[in-house]
Structure 1
Amino acid sequence: MHPAVHDYDSTKFDFVSILSRIYDVDDLAKLRADVPIDVLTVETDQATDFHAKFYDAFEPSIRTLYREFIASIVPDVLKTDEFCFQRVPTFRIHLPGNVAVGEFHTDGDYNHGDGEINFWVPFTPAWGSNSVWIEDELGSAKYEPVTLNPGQALVFDAVNWSHGNVVNETGHTRVSFDFRCIPLKNYTASTLKSVDAGLGLWIGEYFDVL
């Protein structure tokens, strides 16, 4: 699947307001770390206080809207109502002067299998060095940043298309989450686990169905 942008109703699916309340800010792009930026190494890009707050708030504050969002956007993209989806999305925060993920990679490098489709959803303007960078063509190893705004989602085959981040030099924090879906016709229960969370890559653990 070539990367494509899909619009959604950000007033109906107002993750921005929920996240703003969680982090007690009026503008997510102004989020800053309370520790020196060099403490936020690439080895801890899923282990900051920002991530802990998101995952702690997921069940009480985000889960219901997330599942409604899945039901609204995914069937139109995948052209089927029969699919599984990542039970808890992966939260990302790309702070000025830092990176959001440690290296350019494919999700296939991290145990994810063919058939997965990745949805990348920013909640702040994403452009240039604060965005995700994806190959301009499959296998080219030539990368371009994606430009998106809240109300847009990037859909692409992250298992095979290499992607990553560069140091954020925009002065604006990028906040986003991403999740993976698989049409059930393409689903095969994996015996492997996700690298970051250590969850089994099968329905009932990493994946869920509506």
Structure 2
Amino acid sequence: MKTEIFNYNLEKYNFTKIIQDFLEVEDLSEIAIDKKKVMEEGNSLYKNMEQTEHYKNLYEALNSDKGAIFYKSYKQFIQEVIRPQYNEPILYQEKPTHRILFKNGEGVSRFHRDSDYGHKQAEINYFLPQTPAFDTNTLWIESEIGKEDFMPIDLKPGQFARFKGVSLKHGAKNNQTHKTRVSFDFRVIPISQKPEQIVDTTSWKEEDKKNFLFNNAHNFVLAE
């Protein structure tokens, strides 16, 4: 499967506005962090992200009663936009994974394949930025397995990318664009390819097992 880009109706599924309201900001691409408080040497970009107030506030909202508005729109998006891409029912990640790649953030760039973390070959990835995603603030993906010819996926709100992250190496770079990228991503499994065991935790560290983001990434529900 080659990486593909699709458009969707941002007014109908206005994830950007919902997340702006959660974070109480007008421009997601301008949010920044206090490096002295959260930057730890040796941490990955996303590990440092998880320590920030913006990220904690986002998940606090998602896990509260306010989060229902996001998950209602997300479920509708799955049913009306993603499900029609397949000629059979699908399993989809019940709660997507949210990311903030800060314009002034730092950390270790760790490229990987999702199979490194126990994901199954049947899984298909979706990446939806809620700010312009370009150059070093977006996701970089190799074109073919093992090529490591990483290229940035340029997208804007109202677009999403579909790719095979379980086998294609991908990751984020230190953001030099002076614009923050806010996004979420999730995975889908066609029902005919459902593995006997969706979750394989054999490669997980103890800290991974306690991380609700890891658990969200392996919790699938059915879209008929």
TM-score of the superposed pair, with normalisation by structure 1: 0.88
Q: How does 1:36-47 map to 2 (within 5 A)?
A: 36=36, 39=39, 41-42=43-44, 43-47=47-51
Q: Deviations over 1:69-124 (max 9, x none)?
A: 111221232x2341111111000001114368841001111110111000000000
In the alignment, the residues of structure 1 paired with residue 108 and residue 50 of structure 2 have an alpha-carbon distance, to the nearest angstrom, of: 8
Give how far 1:181 is off.
0.6
Over 3 Å counting, the alpha-carbon distance change for 1:75 and 1:85 in structure 2 is same
Query: Which amino acid counterpart does residue 33 of structure 2 have in structure 1?
Result: A
* Map of 2:172 onto structure 1: 165
**Equivalent residues in 2 for 1:1-210, closer than 5 Å:** 1-36=1-36, 39=39, 41-42=43-44, 43-58=47-62, 59-77=67-85, 79-98=86-105, 102-188=109-195, 189-193=197-201, 195=208, 196-197=211-212, 198-199=214-215, 206-210=219-223
Instruction: State whether residues 141 and 150 of structure 2, in contact with CA within 8 Å, keep that contact through their aligned partners in structure 1.
Output: yes
Give, in whole Å, the separation in 1 of the partners of 2:6 and 2:107.
Answer: 23
Which amino acid is 1:163 matched to? H
Question: Which has more helix, going by share of residues?
Answer: 2
Give, in whole Å, the separation in 2 of the partners of 1:143 and 1:98: 21
Which is worse superposed, 97-106 or 169-178? Answer: 97-106
Distance 1:47 1:158 in 2: 25
1:163–1:37 distance in 2 versus 1, CA, 3 Å: farther
State the 4+ residue runs in structure 1 displaced beyond 6 angstroms.
Answer: none
What amino acid sits opposite 1:27 in the alignment?
D
Task: Name the count of aligned residue pairs.
Answer: 206
CA shift for structure 1 position 142: 1.4
User: CA RMSD for the aligned pairs?
Assistant: 2.2
**Displacement of 1:51 after TM fit?**
2.8
Is the contact made by 1:92 and 1:100 (CA closer than 8 Å) also made in structure 2?
no
**Does the 8 A contact of 2:48 with 2:106 survive in 1?**
no
Deviates more, 1:131-140 or 1:166-175: 131-140
Identity of aligned residues (%): 30
CA distance in 2: counterparts of 1:126 and 1:185, whole angstroms: 33
Paired residue secondary structure (1:36): helix
Q: Deviations over 1:122-172 (max 9, x none)?
A: 000011000100003222011111110000000000000000011100000
What is the CA deviation profile of residues 36-84 of structure 1, one whole-angstrom value per residue up to 9, with x for unaligned ones?
376264234444333322222223331111101111221232x234111
